[in-house]
Amino acid sequence: MPVPLAYSLRNLWTRKLTTALTAGGMALVVFVFAAVLMLDEGLKKTLVDTGEPDNVVVTRRASGTEVQSGVERAAAAIVESLPQVALGEGGARQVSKELVVLISLNKRESDKPANVIIRGVAPMGLTLRPQVKIVAGRMFRPGSNEIVAGRSIAERFAHTGLGESVRFGGREWVVVGIFDAAKSGFDSEIWGDVDQLMPAFRRPVYSSLIFRLNDVSGFAAVQNSIESDQRLTLEAKRERQFYADQSEALSTFIRILGMSLSVIFSIGAVIGAMITMYAAVANRTGEIGTLRALGFRRASILAAFLLESLFLALLGGLLGLFIASFMQLLTISTMNWQSFAELAFRFTLTAAIVAKSLGFALLMGLVGGFFPALRAARLNIVDALRAV
Amino acid sequence: MLPALIFRNAFRHKLRSLLTLLGLTVAILAFGLLSTVVEAWYAGAEGASSARLVVRNSISLVFPLPLTYRQKIRQIDGVRAITTANWFGGIYKEPKNFFPQFAVEASTYLDLYPEFVLSEAEHKDFLHDRQGAVIGEKLAATYGIKLGDTMTLKGTIFPGQWAFVVRGIYRGRDAKTDVSQMFFHWDYLNETMKVRAPRRANTVGVYVVEVADPTRVAEISRVIDGEFGNSYAETLTETEKAFQLGFVSMTEAIVVAIRLVSYLVIFIILAVMANTMAMTVRERTAEYATLKALGFGPPFVMLLIYGESLAIAALGGGIGIALTFPVATAFAKAMGTLFPVFVVSAKTVWLQACCALAVGLISALFPARSAARVNIVDGLRSIG
């Protein structure tokens, strides 16, 4: 016969301070654990969602990022004429030949400089990114010194708000619109007309080429024809893959750092749970003897104390997740080492992270509670009943 | 009698004390490591000289400067020496093997960086071999490279495979010097680029300028930037320290997060320790009442509890601090060249000691107060 559930629960309630302190320690550990997973998820979501499944990015071989890449005009023309490129309205090829460079801008609050991606796009560039929408002002007019800024840029950098103007490449550029890119990486970019930006930066070559496939399954063919062409020193990647690769270093760093911290911290929390549960067992020796005398088996006692520890852990886990859920309101911005550009992303909570965090909390409870519960179960009835 | 009583009390519950001690040790150790990571982040800026200026393109670092600026900057009053550096950004075997590589003006570069110590013979060898390179001793140790070995890098900014012969291995002048860098001849880069991509030849990433009088850096920076104002490649000149701090500030969010988390670990251990003390005092209520009945006042009882808490904290803190040094050394080894400078500073040790002390004091705060207030009659009846 199992010991009633209420026994385990009430025991936690009786020692409120101890329960609160132990659960509080666990909550902090779960908070760190969940926050790291949320950050990693947010980073992945930001960069992976930047890509469309049927878009292809062409850059110079081994360059890794668009900023380091260079695509000669002749090479761009060869890629543009590939048969797998989709045709849009009126038979126009769905290709955008783009220039991507970094410029140094000062932040609004701290006045410290950070690198910002500025992207020169062709008119087709917007069609290729359906997630990009103008939310204030209007789109830049081709052939003018007008630019549009991504939402996280306009919020964080000086002189990039609607109607303001910013100087780079020897010219003044007017911000005529703010765009929202559905939390993708484009939110951390500034866009302008590629034919205006190239002379301003004295760049005779494009950085990258983005085109849409007329058939999603045609990627292997187009990759083969680009990479086997002797005239080209380019490589093609699916847009999603391209951006996922960019987040790799930062994501690995966050994961390794976060997981090692979680492991170290959980040692502390497990020890806390162990101390609490050992004390709970020691204080209730007489009680345990009584329970045994009443006919409860060793296994039932073991289960009762384990349950108590698991409840404690669950309490800590829920509390930690509750605090972590508020992190979703925060936006974090840092330099992405692979592109050397500033990138803004959010903490993102998913069902999988909730499950993982609670699982982690329960594991701590299990580890911390097992030995004390074992001690309780092994007590000799007569000795236990004699204890004061 | 008091110290003996405190010590006996602290280890009455051997298992509990041991577990608390272990938790404290781990927390103080983790705190020390995290502080060291944060300091390593700033190491590049710490080691930077205030007498050196970095001249770069005002748009951003990805834009180069023309070679012709060298002569003009050299002639500016107050400039003692000038050299050039191009960020190379190559991959050695695998992308994760990150370390800085610069194509430099070989004849002058090491004169401006006296903190990179190279033997006379190796310096000469390097100057004579245009394909030669100089690497830091940490880099050599990490990848097992010896003098005369060939290192092949895959260029990400400058396309193609690049082979270098290691002609020198430099040591750091002090512990703060970055000994995981690689330098090679700008001439080698330039000659190859002339063939592969003529448009990108004859350009320089940054000019490094040494000024004769460090108090005049602000003035000289303005003169340099004024010289090239309204040209097609405007410059931005700042001290090397500001230049390095610019990089740090771009990843500031990560530094802030690490710092925050390092204090969080102290809170976790505080919860554990406070719990231990609360339980201890609850169990011994009858004893404290007995002490009071014997005539000892509340201050004595409080002292007993504070003493016990501080004894555990001091022991755990001490072991944690002692372990920080070997663990940091092992960590630095495992991280390879990612953190060029990784040294536990005196400040970190002080902070660790302060945290341990604070944990000991705060943990005893509430238990001591409640024990001091124990009513003798109720306390004697208590069975914990």
What integer pLDDT is reported at residue A388 of this predicted model?
59
N-term to C-term CA, chain A: 26
Give the separation between CA A167 and CA A174, rounded to whole angstroms: 9
Q: Name the residue among A60, A268, A334 with its Cβ closest to that of B268.
A: A268
What integer pLDDT is reported at residue A13 of this predicted model?
86
Q: Do A274 and B61 touch (CB under 8 A)?
A: no
Give the separation between CA A54 and CA B71, rounded to whole angstroms: 51
Residue A265 pLDDT greater than 60, yes or no = yes
Instruction: Name the strand (E) or helix (H) holding A57.
Output: strand A55-60
Residue A338 pLDDT greater than 80, yes or no = no
Structure tokens at B370: 């409640």
pTM for this structure?
Answer: 0.81
Query: Do the strands A341-346 and A331-336 form a parallel or antiparallel pair, or are they unpaired?
Result: antiparallel
Confidence of residue B167 (pLDDT cuts 50, 70, 90): very high
Structure tokens at A229: 């062409």
pLDDT one-digit tens code per residue, B217-244: 889 999 999 999 888 888 999 999 888 8
Structure tokens at A72: 């000669």
Residue B384 pLDDT greater than 70, yes or no = no
Q: Do A17 and B278 touch (CB under 8 A)?
A: yes
CB B183 within 8 A of CB B109: yes
Q: Do A268 and B269 touch (CB under 8 A)?
A: yes
pLDDT one-digit tens code per residue, A77-89: 999 999 889 988 8
Q: Do B283 and A283 touch (CB under 8 A)?
A: yes
| Mean pLDDT score, A251-278 | 85
What integer pLDDT is reported at residue A120 of this predicted model?
94
Q: Which of B84-88, B129-133, B308-312, B376-380 has the lowest mean pLDDT?
A: B376-380
Query: Do the strands B132-136 and B161-172 form a parallel or antiparallel pair, or are they unpaired?
Result: parallel
What integer pLDDT is reported at residue A363 of this predicted model?
94
What integer pLDDT is reported at residue B176 of this predicted model?
80
Confidence of residue B353 (pLDDT cuts 50, 70, 90): very high
The 3-class secondary structure across A235-253, one letter per residue, is EEEEHHHHHHHHCHHHHHH
Q: Do B253 and A102 touch (CB under 8 A)?
A: no
Pairs across A and B, CB distance < 8 A: 148
Which residues of chain B lie closer than 8 angstroms to A170, CB-CB? 230, 232, 234
Strands (E), A70-155: 95-106, 113-121, 133-137, 146-150
Q: Do A63 and B267 touch (CB under 8 A)?
A: no
Q: Do A112 and B249 touch (CB under 8 A)?
A: yes
Q: Is B295 exposed, middle or buried (0-12, 13-18, 19+ CB in 10 A)?
A: exposed
CB B146 within 8 A of CB B166: yes
Residue B372 pLDDT greater than 70, yes or no = yes
Which residues of chain B lie closer than 8 angstroms to A21, CB-CB? 271-272, 274-275, 278
- For residue A327, count other CB atoms closer than 10 A to its CB: 18
The torsion of the CA quartet B79, B84, B87, B93, rounded to 10 degrees, works out to -130
Q: Name the residue among A28, A275, A332 with its Cβ closest to that of B276.
A: A275
CA distances from A143 to A172, A205, A308, A381, B59 (A): 14, 18, 71, 91, 21
Q: Average pLDDT, whole number, for chain A?
A: 89
| Mean pLDDT score, B59-83 | 92
When scoring B26, B62, B245 by the number of chain A Cβ atoms within 10 A, the one with the most, hence best to mutate, is B62
Confidence of residue B383 (pLDDT cuts 50, 70, 90): low
In chain A, pLDDT over 70 holds for what percent of residues? 100
Give the separation between CA B236 and CA B68, rounded to whole angstroms: 16
pLDDT one-digit tens code per residue, B94-107: 877 889 999 999 99
Q: Do A275 and B27 touch (CB under 8 A)?
A: no
What integer pLDDT is reported at residue B134 of this predicted model?
96
Measured in degrees and rounded to the nearest 5, phi and psi for residue A223 equal -65, -45
Give the separation between CA A55 and CA A296, rounded to whole angstroms: 66
A43: Cβ–Cβ under 8 A, 6 or more apart, which residues? A247, A250, A251, A254, A345
pLDDT one-digit tens code per residue, B302-319: 999 999 999 999 999 999
| Mean pLDDT score, A120-141 | 91
How many Å lie between the alpha carbon of B121 and the closest alpha carbon of chain A? 36
| Mean pLDDT score, A220-233 | 90
Give the separation between CA A96 and CA A80, rounded to whole angstroms: 9
Nearest residue on chain B to A330, alpha-carbon basis: B253
Residue A6 pLDDT greater than 90, yes or no = no
Residue B117 pLDDT greater than 70, yes or no = yes
Structure tokens at A179: 């765009």
Measured in degrees and rounded to the nearest 5, phi and psi for residue B308 equal -65, -45
Per DSSP, the residues of B350-378 read HHHHHHHHHHHHHHHHHHHHHHHT--HHH
Confidence of residue B362 (pLDDT cuts 50, 70, 90): very high
Q: Which of B239, B284, B202 is nearest to B9 (CA)?
A: B284
Q: Which of A23-37, A84-98, A333-347, B28-42 has the lowest mean pLDDT?
A: A333-347
What integer pLDDT is reported at residue A230 of this predicted model?
87
| Mean pLDDT score, B159-177 | 91
Place of tokens 């500033």: A342
Confidence of residue B255 (pLDDT cuts 50, 70, 90): confident
Q: Do B62 and A102 touch (CB under 8 A)?
A: yes
Give the separation between CA B334 and CA A384, rounded to whole angstroms: 51
CB A281 within 8 A of CB A288: yes
In chain A, pLDDT over 90 holds for what percent of residues? 40
Which residues of chain B lie closer than 8 angstroms to A319, CB-CB? none
When scoring A21, A171, A205, A263 by the number of chain B Cβ atoms within 10 A, the one with the most, hence best to mutate, is A21
Q: Which of A243, A245, A249 is nearest to A55 (CA)?
A: A243
Q: Average pLDDT, whole number, for chain B?
A: 89
pLDDT one-digit tens code per residue, A17-62: 888 888 988 898 899 899 889 988 888 888 877 888 899 999 998 8
Which residues of chain A lie closer than 8 angstroms to B247, CB-CB? 335
Structure tokens at A378: 């092994």
Q: Which of A187, A179, A190, A160 is nearest to A243 (CA)?
A: A187
